[in-house]
């Protein structure tokens, strides 16, 4: 029996029963698993069946050849659908029509292919007409021909769209719904001629041939360009494959009592707990998502975006709307997440076509997660895991300055919040090309399609003339965190002329344009931006994250302003303060250059004496901003030639400023020039050759610390010596630096001030000999940026020319400068940590490369036992959340409560830690028993609904439905 189950290729659903369930998402894909689950819940789902993802893998591996055993299973499943519907596939009198849709385990909206109305031909169209009317039947047939020709036969949809526009122009109408039966019949014959001209063969009339063609095409679409690009953007493995869902058609385009729509159980843009969505009367589902017609709001809550005059489903079809609102509550309670649902109303009867966890903006994700935890639907730990840590940075980027002058030239729907400014481009290819060249661009389209995915990713934002809040542009932009304004009907776009016209305003490709995804405004020119305020939910989520995580999070900051900003974002110290950035200030670069050009140590010291008070002032400001938090200052790292002019004009100007011969300056510049500066005279090597530089910096740091301490503040300075490769380098430099620190402390009388001295581990040799280096270090901080360059033999400045080839070719999964290479560079971090602590137990170890702000890398750093990560200020919340998620997952793996962050190991601290741990254990599972009880209740309710649904009559999608009242009653009882 188990062997047969494993080999099963087709799973049926419908009529209150299903072979699968939500737990089989890997096998059935998200759509198939959720259709099965909704069927089990007794919800009105048209019957159908799912062909598994395993068949997809086998078919694509066999070059498109389907397994021989599949046909029998599909025919058996199709017979079950026929029995439930009371119609037969291919029957001229009462034809069963089906949809064939993709469905991967991860949602990929619009990336793969769909075919609707399959089963129509010149015989069955007459049978369909008797069930409704001729206009509906021939409209359905021409839709099927166009879709099948595009998806299965490879005939471009443009030719069909052109013929449709010509037909509407001839009839003097603008909407498809204004065309009659004779128009559709005439257009259908034109469509069939196009297919034969393009393919050299007539359109297939055999429904079974149509079905297998569609199944193969959907499997094939897993490998299409847009799907591959989407998977790379969202880290979806190629091996997953897609399922194929074959389902009885229900029709939203049979007349005024029919409709189709998309809804979200909460607002996907803001996260508000409102039922939010759109619908089109007398339309098919593709009309909504494709943006062919601008839809109407679902209800009063959705009406705010569309205008108060817009008709709503709540008002025009109240009975169907009430049923939909009830199902909304059932689905959200069952799945415990915001749901994106698709529905069709056929002659007043509601049918559910899909549910899935809805794509949402980052602000919405935060609010929904926190609200659901407050509502006891999920735990706090589940709330933390619901928010994509990597996407959190989007919350912190600028929005339009509300006080800046602006004149809106048009207004569309606020499809995805944020603000975007850029130069207008009208094609996805142009957007990608100009973005690669360094331009900020705004993609402007009549409507977007899945083929535009690469341009949408490259653009700063997206503006469309057609489409609604659930159109392709809106859904994909929200998923990417891109600003989007959709359905801006006042736009007149000409791709041929490369221009955009709004009334009297004419803009051309390359002109600057601004869009506001919060208001829907379109503004000519560039508008200044401001940093947005974070909501209360963000603060609460971050507090929960801080309680759950073990890793401390610091920031990379070189100025008091950066330090203060990072503290606002929750930084717990500075993990990297780069002193060289201070040297480039206009007020001190002259003294720095004098120091570099000095011919002897005495002259060099004189120049350094001039720099000393400037550096001291810098550090005083930073210590005050951090107010007792640790501050790790990296002593001078870059080679000295970087501070000197490289061109002849600069050399002459410097010689004139310093009153020296031009030849002397040029000779010094030439002497400092190196073939490979990254591996040259820099870092601790400067300290060995010019010890007075590090001595000055150590004095400036210590004097600044003493001054701030004398003001009553707390200071925790940490001096970091960079680019150490040999333990003797660190021993000698520590000896010199320590002598200066002791001298200053004695001079200022601050004997209690403690200054730690450590090193940056960035040379692979240092990681391998960390046990020896640790004898002379109070702490390690891994500089993973330079370590990646050295260990990979890659230059960050040049790798961009060829790294895309490595990513596209599958050699690398991630850019190693973005996410740490765990197998190579990560191994060096792990080795260095283990060996360092072997010599010095309890050695504090952190990372200060930008990997410290990459969510995937933070999980790795947690796993290898680092004490802290450090990153740029705007990525501090990303690291805080990623560290919490790592601790939660670690606890799930080890079945333990996440360990709290470690502190100084004193008896007092340990007792506090125990108390905090106990408190967090209580908070970690605030409602586990209640949630378990509720889950049992939900499962019992679902079982009751299934039993009652199984015994009630099946619905007939085209014929009159039976048993509706009994099912509605049983569903209400199950609630």
- Dist CA 429 CA 437 (whole Å): 13
Strand partners, 351: 344
DSSP sequence for 288-321: HHTTSSPPEESSHHHHHHH-TTS--HHHHSHHHH
| Contact criterion met (CB below 8 Å) for 424 and 509 | yes
Burial (CB count within 10 angstroms: exposed 0-12, middle 13-18, buried 19+), residue 256? exposed
Angle CA 491–417–429, to nearest 5: 55
Q: Which helix (H) or strand (E) holds 473?
A: helix 472-480
CA dist 975 and 157 (Å) reads 46
Q: How far, in Å, CA of 227 to CA of 114, rounded?
A: 13
Give the three-state DSSP class for 555. strand
Active site residue 472: yes
Out of 258, 488, 848, 871, pick the active-site residue. 848
Please say whether the dihedral angle defined by the alpha carbons of residues 695, 700, 703 and 709, taken in this order, is positive or negative. Answer: negative
The closest alpha carbon to 631, from 715, 744, 740, 737, belongs to 715
By three-state DSSP, how is residue 5 classified? Answer: helix
- Measure the CA–CA gap between 835 and 840, rounded to whole angstroms: 9
- Which distant-in-sequence residues (6+ apart) come within 8 Å of 772 by Cβ? 727, 839
How many Cβ atoms are within 10 Å of 298's Cβ, its own excluded? 28
Task: Confirm if 836 and 860 have CB atoms less than 8 A apart.
Answer: no
For residue 635, give the 3-state DSSP assignment: coil
Tell me the β-bridge partners of 524. Answer: 513
- 42 near 945, Cβ under 8 Å? yes
Calpha distance 836→772 (Å, rounded): 8
Tell me how far apart the alpha carbons of residues 917 and 547 are, in angstroms, rounded to a whole number: 9
- Choosing from 334, 454, 457, 472, the catalytic residue is 472
Neighbour tally for 628: CB within 10 Å = 12
Region for residue 668 given its phi and psi (left: phi exceeds 0; alpha: psi -120 to 50; beta: otherwise):
alpha
Task: For tokens 């010149």, name the residue.
Answer: 122
Helices and strands of the chain, counted as H and E runs: 39, 34
Q: Closest by alpha carbon to 268, among 366, 187, 171? A: 366
Residue 137 burial (CB count, 10 A)? 26
Does the annotation count 577 as an active-site position? no
Q: Strands 630-634 and 276-281: what pairing? A: unpaired
Handedness of CA 416, 420, 426, 428 (dihedral sign): negative
- Reading the block at residue 137, the tokens are 């039947």
Q: Collapsing DSSP states into helix, strand and coil, what is residue 578?
A: strand
Catalytic residues: 472, 848
């Amino acid at each position: 029996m188990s062997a047969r189950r494993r080999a099963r290729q087709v799973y049926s659903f419908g009529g209150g029963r299903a072979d699968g369930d939500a737990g089989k998402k890997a096998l059935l894909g998200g759509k198939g698993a959720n259709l099965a689950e909704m069927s089990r819940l007794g919800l009105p789902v048209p019957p159908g069946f799912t062909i598994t993802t395993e068949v997809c893998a086998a078919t694509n591996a066999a070059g498109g050849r389907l397994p021989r055993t599949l046909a029998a299973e599909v025919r058996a499943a199709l017979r079950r659908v026929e029995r439930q519907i009371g119609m037969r596939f291919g029957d001229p009198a009462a034809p069963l029509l089906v949809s064939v849709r993709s469905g991967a385990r991860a949602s990929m909206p619009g990336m793969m292919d769909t075919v609707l109305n399959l089963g129509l031909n010149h015989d069955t169209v007459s049978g369909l007409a008797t069930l409704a009317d001729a206009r509906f039947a021939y409209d359905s047939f021409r839709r099927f021909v166009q879709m099948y020709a595009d998806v299965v036969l490879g005939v471009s949809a443009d030719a069909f769209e052109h013929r449709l526009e010509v037909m509407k122009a001839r009839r003097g109408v603008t909407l498809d719904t204004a065309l009659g039966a004779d128009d559709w019949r005439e257009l259908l014959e034109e469509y069939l001629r196009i297919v034969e001209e393009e393919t050299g063969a007539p359109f297939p009339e055999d429904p079974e041939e149509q079905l297998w063609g569609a199944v193969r095409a959907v499997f094939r679409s897993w490998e299409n360009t847009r799907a591959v690009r989407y998977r790379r953007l969202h880290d979806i493995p190629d091996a997953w494959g897609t399922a194929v869902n074959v389902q009885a058609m229900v029709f939203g385009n049979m007349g005024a009592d029919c409709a189709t729509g998309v809804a979200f159980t909460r607002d996907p843009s803001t996260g508000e707990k409102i039922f939010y969505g759109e619908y089109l009367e007398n339309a098919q589902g593709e009309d909504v998502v494709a943006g062919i017609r601008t839809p109407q709001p679902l209800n009063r809550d959705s009406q705010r975006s569309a205008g108060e005059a817009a008709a709503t489903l709540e008002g025009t079809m109240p009975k169907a709307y009430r049923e939909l609102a009830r199902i909304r509550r059932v689905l959200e309670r069952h799945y415990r997440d915001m749901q994106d649902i698709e529905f069709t109303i056929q002659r007043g009867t509601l049918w559910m076509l899909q549910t899935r966890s809805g794509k949402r903006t980052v602000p919405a994700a935060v609010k929904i997660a926190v609200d659901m935890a407050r509502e006891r639907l999920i735990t706090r730990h589940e709330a933390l895991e619901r928010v994509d840590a990597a996407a959190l940075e989007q919350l912190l980027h600028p929005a339009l300055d509300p006080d800046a002058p602006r004149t809106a030239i048009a207004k569309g729907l606020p499809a995805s919040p944020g603000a975007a400014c850029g130069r207008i481009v009208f094609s996805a290819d142009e957007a990608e090309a100009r973005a690669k060249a360094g331009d900020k661009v705004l993609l402007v389209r009549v409507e977007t399609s899945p083929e535009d995915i690469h341009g949408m990713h490259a653009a700063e934002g997206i503006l469309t003339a057609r489409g609604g809040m659930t159109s392709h542009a809106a859904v994909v932009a929200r998923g990417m965190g891109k600003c989007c304004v959709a359905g801006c009907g006042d736009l007149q776009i000409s791709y041929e002329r490369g221009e955009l016209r709004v009334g009297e305003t004419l803009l051309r490709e390359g002109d600057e344009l601004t869009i506001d995804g919060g208001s829907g405004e379109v503004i000519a020119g560039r508008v200044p931006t401001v940093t947005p305020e974070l909501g209360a939910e963000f603060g609460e989520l971050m507090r929960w994250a801080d309680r759950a995580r073990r890793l401390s999070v610091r920031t990379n900051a070189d100025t008091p302003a950066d330090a203060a900003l990072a503290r606002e974002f929750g930084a717990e110290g500075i993990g990297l303060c780069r002193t060289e950035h201070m040297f480039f200030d206009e007020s001190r670069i002259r003294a720095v250059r004098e120091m570099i050009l000095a011919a002897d140590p005495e002259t060099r010291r004189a120049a350094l004496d001039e720099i000393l008070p400037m550096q001291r002032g810098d550090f005083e400001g930073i210590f005050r901003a951090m107010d007792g938090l640790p501050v790790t200052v990296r002593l001078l790292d870059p080679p000295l030639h970087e501070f000197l002019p490289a061109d002849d004009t600069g050399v002459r100007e410097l010689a004139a400023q310093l009153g020296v011969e031009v030849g002397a300056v040029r000779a010094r510049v030439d002497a400092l020039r190196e073939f490979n500066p990254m591996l040259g005279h820099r870092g601790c090597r400067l300290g060995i050759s010019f010890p007075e530089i590090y001595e000055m910096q150590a004095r400036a740091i210590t004097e600044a610390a003493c001054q701030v301490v004398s003001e009553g503040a707390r200071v925790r300075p940490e001096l970091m010596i960079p680019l150490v490769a040999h333990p003797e380098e660190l021993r000698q430099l520590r000896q010199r630096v320590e002598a200066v620190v002791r001298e200053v402390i004695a001079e200022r009388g601050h004997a209690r001030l403690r200054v730690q001295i450590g090193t940056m581990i960035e040379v692979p040799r240092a990681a391998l000999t960390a046990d020896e280096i640790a004898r002379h270090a109070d702490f390690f901080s891994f500089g993973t940026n330079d370590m990646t360059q050295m260990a990979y033999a890659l230059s960050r400045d040049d790798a961009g020319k060829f790294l895309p080839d490595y990513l596209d070719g599958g050699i690398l999964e991630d850019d190693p400068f973005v996410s740490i290479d765990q197998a190579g560079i990560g191994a060096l971090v792990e080795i260095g940590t283990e060996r360092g602590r072997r010599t010095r137990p309890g050695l504090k170890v952190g990372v200060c490369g930008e990997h410290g702000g990459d969510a995937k890398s933070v999980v790795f750093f947690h796993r290898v036992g680092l004490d802290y990560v450090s990153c740029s200020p705007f990525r501090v919340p990303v690291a805080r959340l990623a560290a919490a998620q790592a601790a939660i997952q670690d606890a799930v793996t080890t079945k333990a409560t996440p360990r709290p962050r470690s502190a100084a190991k004193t008896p007092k601290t340990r007792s506090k830690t125990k108390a905090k741990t106990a408190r967090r254990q209580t908070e970690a599972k605030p409602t586990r028993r209640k949630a378990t009880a509720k889950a049992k209740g939900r499962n019992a309710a679902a079982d009751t609904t299934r039993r009652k649904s199984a015994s009630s009559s099946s619905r007939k999608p085209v014929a009159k439905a039976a048993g509706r009242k009994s099912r509605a009653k049983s569903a209400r009882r199950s609630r």
